[in-house]
Amino acid sequence: MNYQNLLCTIHDNGHAELTLNRPSLHNAFNLALIEEMTDCFLKLEDNDQVRLISLAGAGNSFSAGADLNWMKSMKDFSLEENMTDSHKMANMYLAMYDCSKPLIAYCHGNVLGGGMGLLAVCDYVLCNTKTKFGFTETRLGLVPAVIAPYVINKIGESNARAYFISGSKFGADHALRMNLVHETVEADPISVENARKRMVSSFLKAAPEAAQMAKKFVKEVVRLNRKVHREDLIEYTVKVISERRISNEAQEGMQALLEKRSPNWMDN
């Protein structure tokens, strides 16, 4: 599979290795990357040779979330047009979450905004001790809406309220305590490479069908326990982010970041 913004290598052992490949923009995702990720996960799901999928980011960061220039370009979109666009992002996370193959990730550098959603849909996350995390949307006048169902499932209501509202950043130790990541490793290249190899090897030791069944089983138990109507939930989150994108606050917040200044609600 050849993509512009995503590297995909399927190894002989059934490991599909994906790398977000917009390093100059800290792997922020635009519509092209969203569509490529969605297409890739749907194809990997149908590929019987694939046993395990791993995700990482090229360059200095795992992912800084959504590309602000892409988000700002929607200022003149109608609410309906924004919702159509937001559904594409929601479909990307859904394709990842619904993938029956084990999905693991290694993250480093900055993981912000929508990049946190990528971690939330993974089954296992490794990061190095220097990684910085944040649900920074509110500091741009936005809300972490589309990723919320997956994130809240992973970190719980209390952590979501604290960090969704404040938008403050936190380190690897705190990410580990809140269950956003499962393992931390020292940031030197040898330690990182050894830990990544160990993680892949560990997941490949599971019987392929049993691993997929275990993943399906956990999700089904959670679904039956909560009885949430997912379609209604996705529609609600899409509407919230679509409304916020075209709000005056969000436009000011994104413009301020692009201009490297404080938005008008912060003290300069």
* Residuewise pLDDT in 10s, the chain (268 residues): 789 999 999 999 999 999 999 999 999 999 999 999 999 999 999 999 999 999 999 999 999 998 888 877 777 788 888 888 889 999 999 999 999 999 999 999 999 999 999 999 999 999 999 999 999 999 999 999 999 999 999 999 999 999 999 999 999 999 999 999 999 999 999 999 999 999 999 999 998 888 998 898 888 777 766 765 677 777 877 888 888 888 887 888 888 888 888 888 776 5
The pLDDT of residue 66: 86
Question: Percent of the chain, pLDDT > 70?
Answer: 97
Domain 6-209+232-258 grouped into CATH 3.40.190.10? no
The pLDDT of residue 220: 79
Are 13 and 51 spatial neighbours (Cβ–Cβ below 8 Å)?
yes
Which residues touch 104 (CB under 8 Å, ≥6 apart)? 52, 53, 54, 55, 122, 123, 124, 125, 126, 199, 200, 203
Task: Tell me how far CA of residue 252 lies from CA of 1, 146, 265, in angstroms.
Answer: 38, 21, 9
Tens-digit pLDDT profile for residues 97-127? 999 999 999 999 999 999 999 999 999 999 9
**Ordered alpha helix ranges (H), 139-247:** 148-166, 172-177, 189-204, 208-226, 230-245
Are 212 and 100 spatial neighbours (Cβ–Cβ below 8 Å)?
yes
- How is residue 57 annotated by DSSP? E
Task: Tell me how far CA of residue 67 lies from CA of 27, 123, 205, 227, in angstroms.
Answer: 8, 25, 37, 34
Q: H or E stretch including 103?
A: strand 103-107
Tens-digit pLDDT profile for residues 162-182? 999 999 999 999 999 999 999
Q: Which residues of 68-88 are buried (b: 16+ CB within 10 A; e: fewer)?
A: bebbeebeeeeeeebbebbbe
The pLDDT of residue 113: 95
Q: Hey, what are 251's tokens? A: 């436009």
Query: Rounded to whole angstroms, how far apart are CA atoms 256 and 245?
Result: 14
